[in-house]
Structure 1
Amino acid sequence: MTRDDELADLAADLVAVPTENPPGDERPCAEFVVDWFESRGIEARLVEKPSAERAQAVAWVGDDPRDETGGGASDETAGESADAPTLVLNGHLDVVPAGDPDEWTHDPFAGVVEDGRLHGRGSADMKTNLAAAMLTVRDLAPEIESGDLDGTLVFHGAMGEETGHPGTRTLIEAGYGGDCAVVLEPTDFRVGTSGKGVVTYRVGVSGSASHASRPDQGTNAIDAARPVLDAVDEYDDRLRERTDPLVGRAYATVTEFEAGTDSNMAVLPGRAEFLLDRRILPDERFEAVEGEIETLLAEVEREADVETDLSLVKHYASAGIDPDHPLAERFRRLSAESADAPREPWGLEAATDAREFVAAGTPAIIWGPGNLAQAHAVDEYIDLADAATGLDILTDGVRGVLSDE
């Protein structure tokens, strides 16, 4: 069997283990990964934090990463020094829900290979890249163990990335970090050195319920929410003037609105709620963003005489490293040579687990084969020829870091 065939088969096997998040049943897939490594004589284990039911997988070749300091190399030298670097290949086990399987041409969890493509939920985002990382660890193990490559290679199969759970953060805190990291996502071979953050709030607007036959006796919470929504639109207009050269504009968007759904249809709702999605640029601080939202609501309360409340739903930090970091330069060069990928610095408009490495002081790039447009889509697929090219680039890139070539 060729290495390309191994990649297709392993990726299909991973797709065939459903790990939809929510609910996030990653443990069976983590067990599959650990068993795969152990059967090949590679150190691997389940990490049952932050959740035993949603266990994560780690593996490594070289020194036990928990015995290394890791995560403290400078942005200029990490991953490119002669001091036996520890490099992490990070990916996530979870996938977004597939939705109605009848809308799919193929069973989303069958791992069907057809016409040179692997079909199924997670094929692009990002189990094929998990498979590439697993094969890279396996194939470089003899060179690391013999001393031909100097350093340690760590694999992460993290939980909860799709919903902002601290899977990767937990692995880093448990000692499975490193001096630099490749966060595998379908970037079409472009090298991301920064990514937007996002904070989602639930905003409540109070009214006073009454029967719809006597609307003047109450205050319709939907009407009370109108000036709040208008204020959000005006805030979004101002935010769009803030831009980052790599990740684009900041945004504020209402993504969900709910009122009256838990009551009789003939009753004016006494409360309305909506989700506010705020995209955060790399140079914006979360505390400042939260202050802007609080100020916005305070002003609309005063001007429109409405009552609101605010609660945090989730927060993904923005993250960025020097676009000219040696790790980024290495993968840009290899991707340009092998996949004709652009060599210009680039950033993602979406948040990734790269933020967890950057927060820990570890430079990380975001990279991988696969088209980001396929992520979360019905009939998701990845071109297996691209995946095979990605495997070659990843192996060459890791070998270069660990040999300091």
Structure 2
Amino acid sequence: MPATRLLAEQLIARPSVTPLDAGCIEMIAARLAPLGFVNEIIDSGPDTFRVRNLWSKRPAAHAGQARAAIKTIVFAGHTDVVPTGPLEQWSSDPFAPTERDGKLYGRGASDMKTSIAAFVVAVEELIVAQPNAPLHIAFLLTSDEEGPAVDGTVVVCNVLKARGERLDYCIVGEPTSVERTGDMIKNGRRGTLSGKLTVKGIQGHIAYPHLARNPIHDLAPAFAELVAIEWDRGNAFFPPTSWQVSNIHGGTGASNIIPGSVVVDFNFRFSTESTPESLQQRVEAVLQKHGLEYELKWTLGGLPFLTTPGDLVTAVQAAIHAETGLETELSTTGGTSDGRFIAQICPQVIELGPPNASIHKIDEHIALADIEPLKNIYRRVLENLAAA
């Protein structure tokens, strides 16, 4: 069995449902140590939600260059997986990796234990072939990406920032491809900003509206205005910023009571053309314009990031083409990832992984034919950057 698949199966077999790591990080650390990596376990969070993080780095040999001139590339990912859902709906045990019809089934097969296995084997192959490659290589792994993501990658990034650790490139192993590994990579992600709006009224009998004030009616004109706003027009890499309402709750359930308040949950997915501050100011200006009595709590889930074509994108595109013949598509679509934290301390971040059609689903899987090409692409990226 190829080394990448073997390691992927060993990781899938560990039931690391977020925030549990189930020993995955120790397994990876033990594998990296003989290669010259210095492992640092960084635990975070309360005892009831303990998160395990790994920062592991292999300094490059001088290789005729000043050490300060040697670039650092980080492979980043998560060992935690989402819950399985109803076990009886799986065709096989989600934590017993199973081959069937040319696919490898198991929770985490695509998101993203195969990527982690491919990272490790790609690095092993590079070090065997080029033990003095002029690259500092590092791994940043967490067991808190599928959960709240407050004790995972962001904690490690804060530690590295406080130390003044310089990162130059980062590849996040998120499943970004559509049909074939390498057909799409993410060179950025939109930011996410959520709001919980409570508009206050006066509760009363519906037959005596003059003795009450209906907050739903008060909110409606402001709602209409917010829906119609063009927040920005996006740019060459991002679609326009989107504002969407996810929940509205008002009333007691009785049909003859005017509610005393209405609560609205909404979210912005925003491009680099807007800032959290500008979006907050524009929303509150509309609410104040309509004279609403309200409370508004904001939650910034992540800032947008963008890696414009440069050294890393060029190295990745060339690696994908050499391995698969594909001309990869750059994209910033989809949800958030831990790339949003890494981008705060690393100027070039891309996401590259296998097809994502089955992620978070019953019978999650990866095509066997995608595993070795993924590992080879990662190795080729290292070779391209080492030769640059």
- Asked if Structure 1 and Structure 2 have the same fold, meaning a TM-score greater than 0.5 normalized by the shorter chain, the answer is yes
Pair 1:336 & 2:321 matched = yes
My pick for the range that moved more, 191-200 or 209-218, is 209-218
1:10: which partner in 2? 7
1:34: which partner in 2? 29
In structure 2, relative to structure 1, the CA distance for the partners of 1:398 and 1:101 (3 Å cut) is same
Does the aligned pair in 2 maintain the 1:281–1:318 contact within 8 Å? yes
Shift of 1:91: 0.9
Does the aligned pair in 2 maintain the 1:43–1:61 contact within 8 Å? yes
| Partner Cα separation in structure 2 for residue 55 and residue 214 of structure 1 | 58
Equivalent position amino acid for 2:368 in 1: L
Does the aligned pair in 2 maintain the 1:120–1:379 contact within 8 Å? yes
| Partner Cα separation in structure 1 for residue 38 and residue 201 of structure 2 | 59
Pair 1:25 & 2:25 matched = no
Which of 132, 157, 169 matches 1:180?
A: 169
| Runs of 4+ displaced beyond 6 Å | 211-216, 263-267
Equivalent position amino acid for 2:265 in 1: L
1:350: which partner in 2? 335
1:205: which partner in 2? 199
| Partner Cα separation in structure 2 for residue 32 and residue 225 of structure 1 | 54
SS in 1 for 2:69: coil
Does the aligned pair in 1 maintain the 2:14–2:22 contact within 8 Å? no
Percent identity among equivalent residues? 23
**Cα-to-partner distance string for 1:218-263 (whole Å, 9 max, x where unaligned):** 555555554454343223xx24x613222323211112333457x8
1:274: which partner in 2? 264
Does the aligned pair in 1 maintain the 2:15–2:22 contact within 8 Å? no
In structure 2, relative to structure 1, the CA distance for the partners of 1:107 and 1:151 (3 Å cut) is same
Q: 5 Å matches for 1:373-392?
A: 373-392=357-376
Pair 1:253 & 2:265 matched = no
SS in 2 for 1:124: coil
| Partner Cα separation in structure 2 for residue 111 and residue 266 of structure 1 | 56
1:243: which partner in 2? 234
Pair 1:298 & 2:288 matched = yes
Does the aligned pair in 1 maintain the 2:355–2:366 contact within 8 Å? yes
1:58: which partner in 2? 55
Equivalent position amino acid for 1:84 in 2: I
**Cα-to-partner distance string for 1:19-42 (whole Å, 9 max, x where unaligned):** 444xx2346443443344457775
In structure 2, relative to structure 1, the CA distance for the partners of 1:10 and 1:191 (3 Å cut) is same
In structure 2, relative to structure 1, the CA distance for the partners of 1:285 and 1:152 (3 Å cut) is same
Shift of 1:143: 5.0
2:355: which partner in 1? 370
SS in 1 for 2:20: coil
| Partner Cα separation in structure 1 for residue 217 and residue 34 of structure 2 | 62
| Partner Cα separation in structure 2 for residue 33 and residue 268 of structure 1 | 59
- Tell me how large the CA RMSD over aligned residues is: 3.3
2:39: which partner in 1? 44
In structure 2, relative to structure 1, the CA distance for the partners of 1:347 and 1:218 (3 Å cut) is same
In structure 2, relative to structure 1, the CA distance for the partners of 1:166 and 1:340 (3 Å cut) is farther
My pick for the range that moved more, 211-220 or 187-196, is 211-220
| Partner Cα separation in structure 2 for residue 297 and residue 362 of structure 1 | 37
**Cα-to-partner distance string for 1:327-357 (whole Å, 9 max, x where unaligned):** 1111112212322332454333433222323
Shift of 1:390: 0.7
**Cα-to-partner distance string for 1:2-55 (whole Å, 9 max, x where unaligned):** 2xxx3223223323334444xx23464434433444577753232113567111
**Cα-to-partner distance string for 1:298-331 (whole Å, 9 max, x where unaligned):** 234x2xxx322211234211011222x1111111
Which of 181, 187, 201 matches 1:193?
A: 187
In structure 2, relative to structure 1, the CA distance for the partners of 1:267 and 1:101 (3 Å cut) is farther
Does the aligned pair in 2 maintain the 1:206–1:224 contact within 8 Å? no
In structure 2, relative to structure 1, the CA distance for the partners of 1:283 and 1:270 (3 Å cut) is same
Q: 5 Å matches for 1:75-86?
A: 83-86=69-72
Shift of 1:100: 3.6
2:64: which partner in 1? none
Count of aligned pairs:
371
In structure 2, relative to structure 1, the CA distance for the partners of 1:313 and 1:151 (3 Å cut) is same
Pair 1:230 & 2:224 matched = yes
| Partner Cα separation in structure 1 for residue 209 and residue 22 of structure 2 | 52
Which of 60, 75, 80 matches 1:89?
A: 75
| Partner Cα separation in structure 1 for residue 138 and residue 32 of structure 2 | 12
| Partner Cα separation in structure 2 for residue 94 and residue 374 of structure 1 | 16
Equivalent position amino acid for 1:368 in 2: G
In structure 2, relative to structure 1, the CA distance for the partners of 1:222 and 1:250 (3 Å cut) is same
